[in-house]
Structure 1
């Protein structure tokens, strides 16, 4: 189940990163749909991962916070909000994701789990860059942050997938 949850999250981050990539020339509607589904998948993957961690652990709380961040971004896309409200929700959603990844990073440090450290550091850094990009209207920062986050989530999914 951990593999499934990690890959759901990773696929969600990749879809969201693809949505931000201008070379694909998405219409606004297509981009928003991809962002919506990417964040729904991320929230689902993080929610499942939270359920698989020991109650009260930093990883459980971190995954809950990350899922809340993705849900905040989903709300910004689904509800009828102004552009400034959408921007604020996007910034806050990415900040929550960064906070959650940082909490999981701390648990990785405590356990000496190098892959957990790297994957969560990449995700936190990517989310921070996305939040700052949204705040400053820097699409290049948001794009870079999306792909950095996707790299971290994919690294985590590969790590929990056993070699056969």
Structure 2
């Protein structure tokens, strides 16, 4: 399989995984929580597979490869949180951190894409990466809003990268 065919296949697998995982957030369409949890696992495994295949199309030691590998790690982290029996708060925290990893990986891929020569494909890739970064960041913050701790003043906070973030003032 040539590199361009592999890239197209990988992007398609990743996109299909994204759509499948998105159904998890639509209880009106899929009311059964168990089925929604399964969709998030299948969706993230497909996204991770797509990202890993995309990483394989990039040059060794490139930011594009690194970013796709980080994204794949985030996808696997989210899936793992739904596969292992654990408290709901731990599951949500793991999913949020996995989403943050996906956003960081997307940022690395995005910066690598900006270095490439101008083309229509570059416009699509830059736009797609930016949407992924925004979407993954929103998913992560949604999880943190749900599972933050209430401090002495009654404000909801989280610990993120060694800092305490007040969720009520962050948006």
Fold-level match, TM-score > 0.5? Answer: yes
Alignment pair present for 1:104 and 2:101: no
Mapped partners of 1:85, 1:22: distance in 2: 21
Count of aligned residue pairs for this structure pair: 138
**Counterpart pick for 1:130 among 139, 156, 160:** 139
Counterpart secondary structure, 1:22? coil
1:14-163 aligned at under 5 Å gives the runs 14-111=19-116, 112=118, 113-137=122-146
Q: Structure 1: any 5+ residue segments left out of the alignment?
A: 139-164
When Rg is computed on C-alpha atoms for both structures, the one with the higher figure is 2
Which structure 1 residue ranges, 4+ long, deviate > 6 Å from structure 2?
A: none
- Cα shift at 1:22: 2.4
**Deviations 1:44-94 (CA, angstroms, capped at 9, x unpaired):** 110111111101111100100000000001110111111121111011000
Give the number of the structure with larger relative contact order, counting CA–CA contacts within 8 Å between residues 6 or more apart.
Answer: 1
**Residue 108 of structure 1 contacts residue 114 of structure 1 at CA under 8 Å; is this kept in 2?**
no
CA RMSD in angstroms, aligned pairs only? 1.3
**Deviations 1:13-60 (CA, angstroms, capped at 9, x unpaired):** 000011211220330111011111000100111011111110111110
TM-score in terms of structure 1 length: 0.80
- Cα shift at 1:114: 2.2
Counterpart secondary structure, 1:24? coil
TM-score in terms of structure 2 length: 0.77
Mapped partners of 2:107, 2:133: distance in 1: 6
